[in-house]
């Protein structure tokens, strides 16, 4: 009797189906979009429900200090003879005073200061600067020392001003 051969031939190839590359790319892109959308949606849900601590910052109560407001008063530029030998050194100085308001209400800004309104402050500045020498002013810490001396002198002669800070807007030493 004859026996039937049921084995598959080893040389016979199984046909494979080819998928176009554009279809494969579109499927991958749709899968990535759905995965990212699902992750973002889950994070938003957890953040809104309070279960995701990283999504919310802890609430910090900010304390408002009852700090007094300040306003600036610019003085006209000054030209001062310094105490150097020979009397040929001078300083051109522009000063802005930051004054503290105790009432907390900012005063009305004037368009132009009155000519004699700051006479006492200018006189104090002239008095302090008239004793200064150019090498001391040009030293690395000369301006800071000058500001401290001016703050002390203005505080003693004009205590009603409550000067908080002094700014130099112009500082030129000529020898």
- pLDDT tens string 31-50: 999 998 998 888 888 878 77
Distance between CA atoms of residues 56 and 39, nearest Å = 17
Q: What is the mean pLDDT of the chain?
A: 79
Q: Is the residue at 5 inside a domain?
A: no
Mean pLDDT check: name the lowest of 38-42, 50-54, 82-86.
Answer: 50-54
Distance between CA atoms of residues 15 and 17, nearest Å = 7
Packing angle of the helix pair 142-157, 119-129 (nearest 10 deg) = 140
Contact 175, 89 (CB under 8 A): yes
Please determine, for residue 91, whether its predicted confidence score (pLDDT) is greater than 60: yes
Indicate if 85 and 166 belong to the same structural domain. yes
Indicate if 128 and 48 belong to the same structural domain. no
Segments forming the whole domain that contains residue 30: 21-55
Tell me what the mean pLDDT of segment 39-62 comes to. 68
Better-predicted residue by pLDDT, 20 or 66: 20
Q: Is the residue at 120 inside a domain?
A: yes
Distance between CA atoms of residues 95 and 110, nearest Å = 17
pTM for the whole structure? 0.54
Please determine, for residue 102, whether its predicted confidence score (pLDDT) is greater than 70: no
């Amino acid at each position: 009797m004859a026996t039937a051969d049921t084995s598959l031939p080893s040389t016979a190839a199984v046909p494979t189906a080819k998928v176009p590359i554009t279809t494969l790319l579109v499927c991958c892109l749709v899968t990535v979009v759905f995965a990212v959308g699902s992750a973002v949606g889950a994070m938003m849900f957890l953040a809104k429900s309070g279960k995701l601590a990283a999504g919310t910052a802890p609430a910090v109560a900010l304390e408002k200090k009852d700090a007094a407001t300040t306003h600036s008063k610019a003085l006209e530029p000054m030209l001062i003879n310094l105490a150097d030998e020979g009397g040929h050194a001078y300083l051109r100085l522009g000063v802005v005073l930051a004054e503290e308001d105790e009432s907390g209400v900012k005063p009305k800004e004037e368009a132009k200061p009155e000519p004699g309104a700051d006479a006492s402050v200018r006189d104090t500045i002239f008095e302090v600067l008239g004793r200064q020498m150019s090498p001391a002013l040009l030293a690395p810490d000369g301006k800071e020392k000058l500001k401290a001396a001016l703050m002390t002198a203005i505080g003693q002669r004009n205590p009603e001003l409550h000067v908080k800070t002094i700014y130099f807007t112009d500082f030129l030493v000529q020898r």
